[in-house]
């Protein structure tokens, strides 16, 4: 049963915290200034993701001893706190990518090999590999995944709405196909994101910052791996639901490397950024991404549970059109308004 009072409470908490954090970020001049690499033309406070961090941690702590998901909540508290702290320090001081990447790998190795997720043993028939090789690939996947939001958090509301779409669709799949997981948790997350989104959508009055984008990626990344322990179909569904971010980020990075450009330097040549320049609108691009998530990717993910179909085939069906979109929008290179 959905607890409506809790949903409204956490929505109000996130909304109010964002307003308070916005005030203090302005006061202490934690600001994002317009530059050639950005997509904004006004000074906006960055680090607003702190509101999401505080709201999530409160929810995890309150439910730590009253839920069957104690291990999940405990690890989420630890990972969100550690990575959010690093993200906020990066917002303040622009930390080099090497120490951040090192911490990410250490966290991923522990999560996959030594945490409660280490007991998950999906069959080799499903993943084509097993044992150490599979766990190693999941470490690489997790490190890559938790950087997605940082790469894709470049226009108003995109990262936040992506997180909302992911958990909304995941909640439907868990409920519709009667998995033993309290979907109320996912609705609480959505309410927290919506509270922040009211300040973040066009035109954004506050940005997520690295503290926010890394928190969203940690939360979703751990859930995708957690779904693997429930049913590999849910894992594949998560991969499909995150296709917009995965395809854009991966293709853009490959093009930049082929063009002898730094893979870690800030830039504004993602497909969604070129699309925003073509349309001269952040909101239209974000709304388009919402529609792609709900009316293209989600129906494909749903097919995993309706038909006995190879999940790789469905992943290809969802990724190829998005890849063609990246090629059309010349991701990896900058285009001008048309």
Is residue 225 within 8 Å of residue 111, measured between CB atoms? yes
Cβ neighbours of residue 223 closer than 8 Å, sequence gap 6 or more: 167, 170, 238
The neighbouring-strand residues paired with 207 are 46
- Kindly list the domain boundaries of the chain, sorted by start residue: 4-242
**Residue found by looking up tokens 């109320």 in the block:** 184
Q: What is the DSSP letter of 66?
A: S
Per-residue pLDDT reduced to its tens digit, 150-172: 888 889 999 999 999 999 999 99
User: Chain-wide mean pLDDT for the chain?
Assistant: 91
Structure tokens that stand for 217 in this block = 């990626």
- Would you say the pTM of this structure is higher than 0.85? yes
Beta bridge partners of 246: none
Give the pLDDT confidence of 7-44 residue by residue, as tens digits: 999 999 999 999 999 999 999 999 988 876 667 778 99
pLDDT, tens digit (0-9, with 9 covering 90-100), for 40-52: 778 999 999 999 9
For 159, phi then psi, to 5°, come to -65, -40
Distance of alpha carbon 251 from alpha carbon 6, whole angstroms: 40
Encode pLDDT of 83-136 as tens digits.
Answer: 999 999 999 988 888 999 999 999 999 999 999 888 776 654 556 677 888 889
Structure tokens belonging to residue 279: 């349309």
pLDDT at 230 over 70: yes
Residues forming beta bridges with residue 32, ordered by sequence position: 44
pLDDT at 76 over 50: yes
């Amino acid at each position: 049963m959905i607890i409506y009072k809790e949903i409204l409470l956490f929505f109000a908490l996130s909304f109010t915290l964002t307003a308070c954090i916005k005030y203090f970020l302005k006061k202490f001049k934690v600001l994002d200034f317009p530059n050639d690499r950005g997509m904004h033309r006004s000074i906006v406070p960055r680090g607003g993701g702190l509101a999401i961090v505080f709201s999530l941690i409160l929810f995890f702590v309150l439910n730590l001893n009253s839920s069957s998901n104690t291990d999940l909540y405990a690890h989420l508290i630890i990972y969100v706190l550690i990575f959010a702290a690093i993200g906020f320090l990066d917002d303040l001081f622009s930390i080099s990518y090497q120490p951040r990447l090192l911490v990410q790998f250490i966290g991923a190795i522990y999560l996959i090999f030594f945490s409660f997720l280490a007991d998950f043993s999906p069959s080799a028939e499903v993943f084509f590999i097993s044992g150490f090789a599979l766990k190693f690939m999941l470490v690489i996947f997790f490190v890559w995944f938790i950087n997605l939001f940082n790469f894709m958090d470049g226009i108003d509301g995109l990262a936040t709405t992506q997180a909302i779409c992911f958990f909304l669709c995941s909640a439907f799949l868990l409920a519709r196909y009667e998995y033993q997981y309290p979907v109320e948790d996912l609705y609480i997350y959505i309410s927290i994101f919506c509270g922040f989104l009211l300040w973040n959508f066009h035109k954004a009055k506050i940005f997520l910052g690295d503290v926010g984008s890394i928190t969203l990626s940690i939360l979703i990344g751990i859930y995708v791996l957690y779904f693997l322990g429930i049913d590999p179909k849910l894992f594949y569904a998560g991969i499909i639901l995150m296709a917009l971010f995965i395809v854009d980020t991966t293709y853009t990075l490959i093009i930049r490397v082929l063009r002898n450009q730094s893979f870690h330097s800030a830039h504004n040549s993602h497909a969604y950024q070129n699309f925003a320049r073509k349309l001269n609108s952040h909101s239209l691009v974000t709304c388009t991404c919402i529609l792609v998530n709900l009316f293209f990717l989600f129906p494909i993910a749903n097919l995993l549970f309706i038909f006995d179909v190879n999940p790789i085939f469905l992943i290809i069906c969802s990724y190829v059109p998005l890849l063609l979109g990246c090629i059309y929008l010349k991701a990896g290179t900058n285009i001008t308004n048309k």
